[in-house]
Amino acid sequence: MLNLNRKSLGTKIFTSLVGLVLLAFLMIALVTYFQYKEQVKDYNEERLERKESSIKKMINFVLKGTTYELKADKVKHIFKEEIYEIVSVQGENITLYDLKGNPLITSTEELFDSPKMYQIPKETLSKLEHSIDKRYVNKIDGEVSQQLSYSYINDLKFKPLIILEIQYEDSQSFINKEMREILWRLVVLTILMVFLAIVLAYLLAQFITKTLKTVEDNIKQTQLDKRNEKINTAKLPSELITLVNAYNRMIDELEGSAAKLAQNEREAAWREMAKQVAHEIKNPLTPMRLTVQSFERRFNPEDPEIHQKIKEYSSTLIQQIDTMSSIASAFSNFADMPAQQTEMLNVPKIVKLSLDIFNEQYITFTSEQEEILANFDRTQLIRVVTNLIKNAVQATKHIENPKILVNVDDLDTEVQIRVGDNGIGITEENKLKIFEPKFTTKTSGMGLGLAMVKNIVETYKGNITFTSEEGKGTVFKVIFPK
């Protein structure tokens, strides 16, 4: 069956090259973006420092030339007009505060409409005071990226007089424009590279797959029952010569081992048949022995029902003998199993009859109805039930209070036979192999019992399932149509 999820070599080459190009574009774009962003960050920081230095020089120049006493409460008079001249030259809004963070004067007039709202936060004052260079920058992200720079302005005796705040706006629009131009160039370059990768991948895939197609055709035509042609290595690339030489050696070995393989298959088939026959013969022998032993223990000449019991014991022995006879006949005629004789059976009665050969007192039988009719082979149905009961007995062999429940249910158009026990259960590892021929966890036996049961049930268009929990028990369900 064709695996649609498996990609061809040509497809892999194509997707690999295109993917490599796209990955390279993504990596270049990411590196470019972060590198450019870092450069812009450094540029804005350096530009802010230059602005701050220039503004401080102009403020110090004003302070040196003023006739007012250099005190914080005089600052608004000193810079009443000069603050606008500084802003017009530097292009950045500034605000002057006293050392407690109260605003004194600003280039933004609306600041003093509500002075308390524009005080410097205590956290900012603390960071400024404890900074090494007596300078603190607070970055504010929003629609417009902004930086607020705080630093001290000293008086003529180099003592802090006021605090300078510079409102610096990053040149974001210019940055975005430059970034769009760079990314657009990368997109154009990537489209060109993808186109070249498609052409290169197509040519490369054609060259490689053409040679591989020849090898593939020869391998597809290889058969065990005819002479196979070797592949000529004269025109093959050096990378494929080793593969083709291995194929040619396989052809030589294949011809030599074909006859031997056929012989081994015939011998294996005979061995498998012998194992199955041996296993099938053992099945009726065990209940026959149990029946005889039970008869020997329970025989009482004075029992008023002795004749009826002898008849039942005899009937059971005859049925098992007939089973062995049919197995022998089938083996002599090269058949797999005894021929199936479909007849209308009362399933609860046959199942209960199958239980009579077991002496275990902890086996309990129940049925919804006394009569549930279904078409089945009598011998085969007994074989199915006895095999399941034997497995249940084996599973509860070392259990303190063993219980085996056998139940027959009427499912309208189907019949269900349920065999449950409280034995050792089946491990998760063994659940997948439980119906495989020759698989067994017992110290004796050929491991064909459940495989044979499954085969019988499926022959009658039924199915067998089980549920099991290790250490708690197992339940087998056999369902077949009426």
> 343 pLDDT band (50/70/90 cuts)?
confident
pLDDT of residue 452: 82
- Chain centroid offset of residue 408 CA: 41
Beta bridge mates, 421: 404, 474
Which residue in 144, 40, 169, 145 sits closest to 94, CA to CA? 169
3-state secondary structure of 107: coil
> 87 pLDDT band (50/70/90 cuts)?
confident
pLDDT of residue 445: 45
Task: Name the one residue in this structure whose structure tokens are 């420092």.
Answer: 49
What's this model's pTM, rounded to 2 decimal places?
0.36
User: What's the whole-number mean pLDDT along residues 279-298?
Assistant: 72
HSE, side-chain direction, 13 A CA sphere, residue 289: 6
Q: What share of the chain is helix, strand, coil (3-state, %, to 5)?
A: 55, 15, 25
Alpha-carbon torsion angle 382, 384, 387, 389, nearest 10? -80
Which residue in 336, 468, 294 sits closest to 391, CA to CA? 468
**Per-residue tokens: 168:** 């610096």
User: What's the whole-number mean pLDDT along residues 451-473?
Assistant: 88
Is 215 buried (19+), middle (13-18) or exposed (0-12) by CB count in 10 A?
A: middle
pLDDT of residue 443: 47
pLDDT at 2 over 50: no
Residue 333, Cβ neighbours under 10 Å: how many? 8
Which of these ranges, 86-95, 320-329, 369-378, 434-443, has the smallest mean pLDDT?
434-443
* CB 168 within 8 Å of CB 139: no
pLDDT of residue 225: 58
Strands (E), 357-462: 363-367, 373-377, 404-411, 414-421
Beta-carbon contacts of residue 442 (< 8 Å; ≥ 6 apart): 394
Q: Which fold has domain 340-482?
A: Heat Shock Protein 90 (3.30.565)
Query: Domain 9-175, what architecture?
Result: 2-Layer Sandwich (3.30)
Beta-carbon contacts of residue 258 (< 8 Å; ≥ 6 apart): 224, 225
pLDDT at 4 over 50: no
> 437 pLDDT band (50/70/90 cuts)?
low
Span 117-133, pLDDT tens digits:
578 888 988 888 888 88
CATH 3.30.565.10, the chain: domain bounds: 340-482
> 421 pLDDT band (50/70/90 cuts)?
very high
Measured CA to CA in angstroms, residue 447 lies from 245, 269, 278, 438, 458 at distances of 43, 17, 11, 4, 18
pLDDT of residue 480: 93
Average pLDDT value over all residues in the chain = 78
Which residue intervals of 91-166 are DSSP H helices?
122-130
- Chain centroid offset of residue 352 CA: 48
CATH 3.30.450.20, the chain: domain bounds: 9-175
